[in-house]
Structure 1
Amino acid sequence: MTAKETIEIEALLYRAYAQYRVHKVSPAAVIGIAPLLASPSGFAATMAILQLGTRVDTSGAGAKAAGMQRMMAATPDDLLVVHDHVLALSDWLIEGAESAEPTVWRRDEIRENGWAVETRPDGLWLVRPSGPGGAGRGHLSRLADPHLCAMVIQHASNGTRPECRAVRDLQRRPAAEARELREERAHYAVWHAALAVLAAELNDQLTKHHVLPPSAPAQPWTRRALRDVPAGTPLPGGAANDAQAIDLHTEKAL
């Protein structure tokens, strides 16, 4: 049996999205990034022809489909599994991103708790009903959609990390700037937590890779993180692969 390659999650994502471009090897409609290209014959028919080994039209959508099939065949199976797990990150939302203690929820957790996500002109809100049977309107909290799936793919493709300025004392900052910095930290922290979750999940799913947690610091705005925190430092709230809400506590270490 071939030994598994040990690789850190950021390096694995870079390989998947920057080198193999796994988000390009399946129809856009399948990966949820753009609508399926219209075609007189339809993509399904084109793929069926390819699978049967029949000659296909190499112009327009047919050429795109053929190229896609070649890219798919050249992509390692493990990296396609990585992409499937990254797509599942699209359900994460941040409650109180601008506050000192933001919390991350998945949409299925919100539903299981009997709550709801409400879309208003000023954004998304978490509705916690009150009263008998949840009849009352209850408590409202602002939600932020970090577009986590797109964020992970974008930074993996570019070999970058979310911006997170190393400003330690928010109390002395103007209110608007402090709120912006808190949101910046919340987005960084949810990105970091997502990578830790991916590493834990993929370790049980991949056949050729042993995945290490992110070596990026969980809180790069703290003094300790700025001295280069070693890999494996626990995440804020200890939520590396917890199925419950991820409590980020982004300012606890200030």
Structure 2
Amino acid sequence: MESTDLMKKINSFALRSFRDNADRDYIHARMAYRAQLYPQCFWSSLHALEKYAKCILILTRTERVRIKKNNFDDVGHEVLKSLKMLESSLNIILSQQTIDFLKRLENGARFRYLEVSWHSESAELTILDRAVWELRRYCNSGLYSYENSPEVKLLDNVKELLQDIENVTVENTHIAGGRLEAILKQPKSPARKELVWKNLYFSNSKRKTVWLESNFMAENSSLFLYPEIIDELTKYTRIPKEIVNAYKNG
């Protein structure tokens, strides 16, 4: 069993190294979206969400030994794998919209150099905001009991609050000591205006709706346009075998 001092230090690492940095990535993703830099928005979105998930793994003391025993590799930029690891100890409820968004981000993350074409759907900023809200709420050490560590459990009085993913309240959103919460309290912070811009989840506004322009943007991969260059191109840069095979056999 962990001592109280050790427990606090491990939790501090999880919150500062993962949750707080995820909060920065989240704001960075919103800034990129606002500038219509959509590939950069997606990449920062994935960075944020995978760090929130890794924070939860540490807060719940999900040991790497246990991960190996269940035939999981170490987690890279993968949120869904982290959530799968948590299934036996923590019932994280996500909307289907968030799950679909995570799948899109993870599928696209493998191809950072325009090996495949990409597109941005309308109102994806609001989808990101909701995904962050749904997952980040678990990045709070105050939700867990460490009395029988390493068997960490959610406190009984917060289970119902976290299971409600339809009603956004201060109680099921704000985290004491969180970086987003600190930014919201700083009117002159340049990050604050990027955080609250058309945000239904993290702001001091009580608005129920936001209006976003319906921007659709897409970009074709050069390999899609000119598949005949693949053999020559592989002399100069690495192209994943699955991409080479897909274009050659496509």
Question: Same fold by TM-score, threshold 0.5 exceeded?
Answer: no
From the two aligned structures, give the one with the greater helix fraction: 2
TM-score, length basis structure 2: 0.28
TM-score, length basis structure 1: 0.28
* Structure ID, larger Rg: 1
